[in-house]
Each structure stands twice: as structure tokens, then as C-alpha cells.
């Protein structure tokens, strides 16, 4: 085998080895992400939430928050209107 072929083969082997290392790193990251996901899902279950229905739970909480804000605004507006006659300055 010529020196040129040997060098080419050596470069290809080096590239292959580098790809193997990268693949191992990616697999490690994937495993870590899967472990983190499992932990989060368990935390959800521990709090009584179905991880498969998180979007619905978030929407429900947002709706309750919006309703609470509207009720607060309505209450403040009523209080302002009730106090308005007493706060008018005679000129």
C-alpha cells in the first residue's frame, strides 16, 4: 500500500474515531436529558399533576389568574367610584 493510501486511511480512521466520541457525548447528553425529564415528570405526579396534561393545567391556572385580575380590577373600580363623591374638592 502506498504512503498516500496509508495517510488517507489514517485520516479516515481519525475522522471515524472523532465521530464515535461525538456520538458518545450526544448519547450521554440524551441520557441526562431523559433522566431530567423523568425527574420533572415525577415531581409533577408528586404534586398531583399528570405530566401528559401539563398544557391543560397551565391553561386552567392562566384562566383563574385572568379571572382574579378582572375581579380585582372590578373591585378597585367600585371602590374608586364609591369614594369619588368624598374626594371631590369644591372649587
**38: containing domain:** 1-48
Q: Using CA atoms, how far apart are residues 30 and 39, in angstroms rounded to an integer?
A: 14
Same domain? For 64 and 87 the reply is: yes
Same domain? For 38 and 5 the reply is: yes
Q: With contact defined as beta carbons under 8 Å apart, do 5 and 15 qualify?
A: no
Q: Using CA atoms, how far apart are residues 41 and 44, in angstroms rounded to an integer?
A: 5
Cα angle for residues 7, 13, 15 (degrees, 5° grid): 105
Same domain? For 36 and 10 the reply is: yes
Cα angle for residues 61, 67, 73 (degrees, 5° grid): 135
pLDDT in tens, the chain (91 residues): 789 999 999 999 999 999 999 999 999 999 999 999 999 999 999 999 999 999 999 999 999 999 999 999 999 999 999 999 888 876 4
Same domain? For 35 and 7 the reply is: yes
Same domain? For 60 and 81 the reply is: yes
Give the total number of structural domains in the chain: 2
Same domain? For 26 and 57 the reply is: no
- The pTM is what? 0.58
Amino acid at each position: 500500500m502506498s504512503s498516500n493510501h496509508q495517510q488517507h486511511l489514517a485520516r479516515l480512521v481519525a475522522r471515524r474515531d472523532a465521530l464515535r466520541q461525538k456520538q458518545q457525548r450526544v448519547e450521554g447528553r440524551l441520557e441526562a436529558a431523559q433522566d431530567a425529564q423523568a425527574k420533572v415528570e415525577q415531581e409533577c405526579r408528586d404534586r398531583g399533576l399528570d405530566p401528559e396534561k401539563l398544557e391543560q393545567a397551565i391553561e386552567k391556572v392562566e384562566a383563574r389568574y385572568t379571572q382574579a385580575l378582572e375581579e380585582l380590577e372590578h373591585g378597585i373600580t367600585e371602590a374608586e367610584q364609591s369614594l369619588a363623591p368624598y374626594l371631590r374638592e369644591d372649587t
